[in-house]
Structure 1
């Protein structure tokens, strides 16, 4: 009955130029070309996939709360900006998945949830502020896109620790503040993260060129036994935390440190047997060469990203990274000694070397872009051409903004 009614609506009314919905009714029938103004007539829809048009059309989605039978809601748009989302999701007692990840919102956006007891997957636009009370949603398994609350607020930081079912967590870091306040905030965050034993993905993001000192997390008791992806490159540790070596299921590791010693390389190379992707950022000048090989072979790594002012401090020995296909290098031209990493001939499966220019804000403003490109291309193309595997060389068009070390 419901399917017939929706089909009639789609055939008899047309709104040229407005976004269309892909809908799935209770019967599982997929309906197309239902215009957005009919949103309020779709009271029994359970699955709603909404693809919005490009910018220039104002889209008001505040009436979503009246679709009380929704189980799954995905809103996507490649370019849309003039979108009005509800400030609260309320009364959607059957909602299990809410995904706003593929849209961008102008200005400051705070989002709250009321009366959605079945919510398991919540993905919000980047840098969204969540209202207090997130700890009440204990069924959440996915929480992505939001910014952590300001460092003078601890309620939602503590609430994160109540979400023990979480398997996928991604958040943006807030602006920094006074050291004593920040220390208390970081301690609360560390205590909450330590309770999330079911995490499989943990990703942090920052929106400024400011480094965040993560040493408060170095003393965690070995957490995250099921973790498969750990991306902490937007935080900075003084050294690689010892607990990294306990993450035996880890497939991807992205980490930033001030310094790295050979024993840190040994921990990552020998105690992470499933590691496939490794990203290592070193913000200080290494005190010793970084040697990969022998007891630090990284047997399964296929992609390695190395971000360090002294690229030539990286050396591969025979037997190092035997499965490595792609080597990505960040090149700081002001610090670089015009040399490639040593021992590239020991990488038998290498098919690509990539380089990305990296700068601080001050360096970027005064650099000669074309001169830098020519210099980088000359060194690394020559290194690639000299190898028996003849890997391709790629100079990427984008650039990397280096965190400010004085904040770490």
Structure 2
């Protein structure tokens, strides 16, 4: 029991309670709690328990939360634990004996739990078997017919519709054939306002939507698209009503525009393409041979090793997967995780757990449930937590990892190790297909993820069963609630009159996630026991700001994230928040609390751009400045701001900043720096070169540099990943500079008629570099031969390296750089949070951050 995480879905707060037993004076109470925890753990390892056992477990979990709340909040908790809770604990143990739960009939999982770490999975695995469909759709998209065409992709869940749509999305970038594009995911309970705002934000990225009403959004879309060749993908349609409304926003015109809709329902598919079946693509299950090939390659890899094992795959497992790529990949990921420990018994046990003679939907559902049950207990908890987010909500890996750690789902000695474990769980869920890649940029790096809709249904149901997360959405009128709610998710979206049900006991809620309009936001100060608070708020009417002054009353708060399009008003002082570790305000802040310097537990601070950086002196590990939602490319200066403490390990400055602040050179423990600046001079580089602990540097420059950027001998000795983007590439590396550099990504622009000199002087000195990625942008007037000349010059420069480094070069169709695009996922309308991150012609600040995060995690 000592190895349990503090909080879990199956054991409640028993792990946290165990960690505090040494402080208990009542020996009898300690023994009773240990006995209670052991019994709860035993039942948690079983499957298909009778109702009596499940009710007992729920009551014990509720009791564990009551006890830990008492320990955390009451000054006389020692007396209360003996006087109030000891009788309740003894009574719970007594009921266990009376109900004879020790010998209750149950079924234990008869398969070895999958390891924590599993191999990488390719996002588009399985598409090779559908090459004919891909080719057919590609031809139709660009066949030269100037009439608007609507294509429908229909098929059962898990057949690969979204994967196919994403492939088409990546192959048709703006400027290649279409003027603009948008990819939007719907849901079973669609919010038309969100869907239309999402499309408008993507096809018109430099002018965020102002309209809020559906008819106004339709008008704005029609006006913007009327003279353009556009490409729209509407993924996961469930009802023709969504299409009936959205279709009014798409002008027919004679510009060769295309729309693709994906759905599981044939009637919806036909309605979208005006009942012209020739424009409907019906996806069929994989053949047995293709299924076996996909399964074998997923388990054993490709090449000779793959060929040697083809005949080992039991045909019955293949047959029971019914040709569904999602089912095949999910099951194969479990077997792949065993590696050399794989046995015939494992194959047989999995085969016996798979359904037979049922529908495709039921097969996929049973496979996903089986995968969930195969997860380690901690990973199950982490997956269930994702039901806090609405269906098809876009998530960032780093955010979710931090939230898992903050919630107490991960047990490890240090914060770094907790993040590593959280990252391994996230990767496991991706490999199993529970979490899907959604937004992948031109260099095949994953930016955003979403939970598969069927998985979301499963975990929402399971969370209700376990009383782990209670979800309220704007469409619900009557919902069964437990008498105790620990985690509450209010998913109101664009609803204007949504309210929190009065019968929910707000004083018992530990975690609250809110997504909706500011007018529907409940009184946060009523949630006295909150440890964890996420607010995604949208002000759809002019206001004086979002008043969060009373959050200082939430004395147990550890994690606070606020995303808003309006000014956030924080309290003048935060002196009561002694446990606060993460403070993320992705919005304009009216004023920083004066005593923020006294928050001794604060580890991570994120503030909206334009906010004066406070002089934080605690044990801060990361500082971030992000552009607020309404920023218009303005540049801010930070040299007049207070500097963070020397203990800081991560800094993200993404507005852009005028120059690199001088105080950065004093941060001797800084490990990760991600920064966008207006200009870069050698004085700035000199300021960075002595950062001996820096392992990740992502540096983007808005203005063209006029001098060579040189890195001296001994510069950045610990650096392992370097990302640099500027209109002109002119870097120099002295012998002994960046001696540990392993990966490098460089972006620059091709200009009309440019003659390229030495782009990378001294690259041969970077002897440990294994991978170099180049991204070349096209400026106004640049033609194909200019891009080719730039690529040739880049390859010649890389050719000076003595080793056979991995080289990848690609083009973007506008000037390279993230600076003209000032809306990241953190600054968007929460009601449009399921959208892709706008045009992939350029990288947003969030993309820079996410990629550098991925590299820093893999390095560390």
The change in CA–CA distance for 1:348 and 1:273 in structure 2 (over 3 A counts) is same
Look up the match of 1:306: 724
The change in CA–CA distance for 1:147 and 1:66 in structure 2 (over 3 A counts) is same
Checking the alignment, whether the CA contact within 8 Å between 1:22 and 1:33 is kept in structure 2 is no
Alignment of 1:6-405 (within 5 A): 21=460, 30-31=466-467, 36=472, 37=476, 41-48=481-488, 50=489, 60=498, 62-63=500-501, 66-74=505-513, 86=521, 88-100=523-535, 105=538, 107=540, 110=546, 112=548, 114=550, 115-125=553-563, 127=565, 129-133=567-571, 135-136=573-574, 138-139=577-578, 140-149=580-589, 153=590, 155-156=591-592, 158=594, 160-161=596-597, 163=599, 165-173=601-609, 189-190=612-613, 193-206=614-627, 207-217=631-641, 220=642, 223-238=644-659, 240-257=660-677, 260=680, 262=682, 264-270=684-690, 272-286=691-705, 288-296=707-715, 298-312=716-730, 314-334=731-751, 338-339=756-757, 340-356=759-775, 366=780, 373-385=787-799, 387=801, 388-395=803-810, 399-402=816-819
Residue 210 (structure 1) shift? 1.9
Checking the alignment, whether the CA contact within 8 Å between 1:225 and 1:249 is kept in structure 2 is yes
The change in CA–CA distance for 1:146 and 1:95 in structure 2 (over 3 A counts) is same
Residue 308 (structure 1) shift? 2.9
The change in CA–CA distance for 1:329 and 1:132 in structure 2 (over 3 A counts) is same
More strand by share: 1
Checking the alignment, whether the CA contact within 8 Å between 1:233 and 1:281 is kept in structure 2 is no
Residue 195 (structure 1) shift? 3.5
Checking the alignment, whether the CA contact within 8 Å between 2:582 and 2:602 is kept in structure 1 is yes
Checking the alignment, whether the CA contact within 8 Å between 1:129 and 1:146 is kept in structure 2 is no
In structure 1, distance between residues paired with 2:496 and 2:793: 50
Residue 224 (structure 1) shift? 1.3
Checking the alignment, whether the CA contact within 8 Å between 1:43 and 1:69 is kept in structure 2 is no
In structure 2, distance between residues paired with 1:371 and 1:87: 59
In structure 1, distance between residues paired with 2:736 and 2:661: 26
Residue 258 (structure 1) shift? 5.4
Residue 47 (structure 1) shift? 3.3
The change in CA–CA distance for 1:87 and 1:355 in structure 2 (over 3 A counts) is farther
- Higher relative CO (Cα under 8 Å, sequence separation at least 6) belongs to 2
Residue 194 (structure 1) shift? 0.9
Q: Whose radius of gyration is greater, 1 or 2?
A: 2
Checking the alignment, whether the CA contact within 8 Å between 1:261 and 1:290 is kept in structure 2 is yes
Checking the alignment, whether the CA contact within 8 Å between 2:496 and 2:520 is kept in structure 1 is no
SS in 1 for 2:524: strand
SS in 1 for 2:756: coil
RMSD, aligned CA: 4.4
> Structure 1: any 5+ residue segments left out of the alignment?
9-15, 175-185
Checking the alignment, whether the CA contact within 8 Å between 2:777 and 2:811 is kept in structure 1 is no
More helix by share: 2
Per-residue CA distance 1:67-120 (angstroms, 9 max, x = gap): 3211123468xxxx89985154131110011134xx685747835263423222
In structure 2, distance between residues paired with 1:94 and 1:196: 27
Q: TM-score, normalised by structure 2?
A: 0.36
Per-residue CA distance 1:331-357 (angstroms, 9 max, x = gap): 144597635222222222223323345
In structure 1, distance between residues paired with 2:724 and 2:717: 17
**How many residue pairs were aligned?**
355
Look up the match of 2:232: none
Checking the alignment, whether the CA contact within 8 Å between 1:258 and 1:282 is kept in structure 2 is yes
Q: TM-score, normalised by structure 1?
A: 0.69
